[in-house]
Amino acid sequence: MRLAPGLFWAAALLIATSGCGFDPEGDQPLAPPPVYSEWWAKTEACSGLTGNFNRIQWSVVEGPSFPCSSGQCAGHWTTSHHIFLAGDWQDNEMVVRHEMLHELIGRPGHPDPPFGDGCPLTWATWNGGSAGLDVARVPGRVPPKQVD
């Protein structure tokens, strides 16, 4: 059976964006700290959406970033309710809540709203942009280009 070219590419795009098989090297399970529940409530409030925080599987990858489909990422969400965080960013409210918002909307991409207007959870919108990220606390810490 042969697929039409358009159908083939649509299926390939769906597989590529679904998060299936995403497993960065060296990831370790992460027990979410209590502050994550507070951040979840804030993310539900700004988005107007609700979800099940307890179904999220958390992992941390040591370092400032890890490879992902869009380059180097500080965080990545998959459709299997798994959130990966770079170790240097696991305590950063914007990065963690960005991935939580993906869980709430149930898809990749950054539609505005809720990203930007509603929930300013991108490098460009958080606390007036990257100046509000407080990266100066850690010498040499520069945010990766992506929170995926």
Q: What is the mean pLDDT of each run of 10 residues along the chain (148 residues)?
A: 43 41 88 98 96 98 91 93 96 96 95 91 76 44 57
Alpha-carbon separation of residue 93 from 19, 35, 49, 124 (angstroms): 23, 9, 18, 14
User: What residue spans of 25-92 are helical by DSSP H?
Assistant: 34-47
Give the DSSP letter string of 82-127: EEEEEGGGTT-HHHHHHHHHHHHHTSSS--TTTBTTTB--STTTGG
pLDDT of residue 107: 94
Q: Are 12 and 18 in contact (CB under 8 A)?
A: no
Strands 57-61 and 28-29: antiparallel
The Cα 4–Cα 63 span in angstroms is: 43
pLDDT of residue 129: 53
pLDDT of residue 81: 97
Q: Report the predicted TM-score, pTM, of the whole model to 2 decimal places.
A: 0.76
